Amino acid sequence: MDAQFLKQNIIKLLSQRKKLLGLTGLLLLSNMLLGFALISKKERIILVPPHIHKTLWIEGGEVSKEYLEEMGAYLSKLLLDISPMSFPYNHETLLKYATPEAYGNLKQQLLKDGEHYTQLQLSTHFNPAEVIANPQTCEVQVRGLLTSYMAGKPVKDSQETITFKFTQRGGGLLLESISGGNPHAS
């Protein structure tokens, strides 16, 4: 009788072992599928600026048009809405967005512009009127009115267009180049 009882227990234990092995195999397969899904998934980074007007996002290699527009308008103000007292801060802030490759040339140009502004006691105010963003090329054109002041008196109004070229790195946009926008630099 003991042999029959042991045989039934062994059969019962083997059946339980098969069920547990099957369950373990399913859990292993589901973990592998979840791991693959996690590796292949594109991460969406949601950016929250101080004043939100539109939805801004970066996903994989794509950037929202609205984010490019906001960055272009912001950087255009840093670049052209300056005075001899504000240009060091504005230019240092603008350089925080530059790629390492563009940093040196951009800093040199900004220092040259700053010396020019200080020498002439020139102040400018830029009022953006139109921002055109192209998410495929990561370029933004900002058009607007640039008013120049010397000794606190307006001396010139001009329509200016600034083009910013960005590159996406590390979940954000970095500035590659700037063209146009400063008629006073020579």
Q: Could you tell me if 164 and 145 are in contact, meaning their C-beta atoms sit under 8 angstroms apart?
A: no
pLDDT band at 151 (very low <50, low <70, confident <90, very high): confident
pTM: 0.69
Domain spans in the chain, listed from the N-terminal domain onward: 64-179
Which has more confidence, 3 or 161?
161
pLDDT band at 49 (very low <50, low <70, confident <90, very high): low
Residue 80: phi and psi, rounded to 5, are -115, -10
What local confidence, expressed as pLDDT, does residue 53 receive?
65
Which has more confidence, 38 or 176?
176
pLDDT band at 43 (very low <50, low <70, confident <90, very high): confident
pLDDT tens per residue, range 10-38: 899 899 999 999 999 999 999 999 998 88
Any bridge partners for residue 160, and if so which?
144
pLDDT band at 142 (very low <50, low <70, confident <90, very high): very high
CA nearest to 163, candidates 125, 136, 131: 131
For the cut 60, the answer to whether the pLDDT of residue 50 exceeds it is no
Which has more confidence, 5 or 156?
156
Which CATH superfamily hosts domain 64-179?
A: VirB8 protein (3.10.450.230)
Place of tokens 């979840």: 34
The whole-number average pLDDT for the span 30-59 is: 75
For the cut 50, the answer to whether the pLDDT of residue 186 exceeds it is no
pLDDT band at 185 (very low <50, low <70, confident <90, very high): very low
Place of tokens 């009788």: 1
Q: Which residues contact 17 (CB under 8 A, 6 or more apart)?
A: none
pLDDT tens per residue, range 86-118: 989 999 999 999 999 999 999 999 999 888 888
For the cut 50, the answer to whether the pLDDT of residue 177 exceeds it is yes
Which has more confidence, 47 or 30?
30
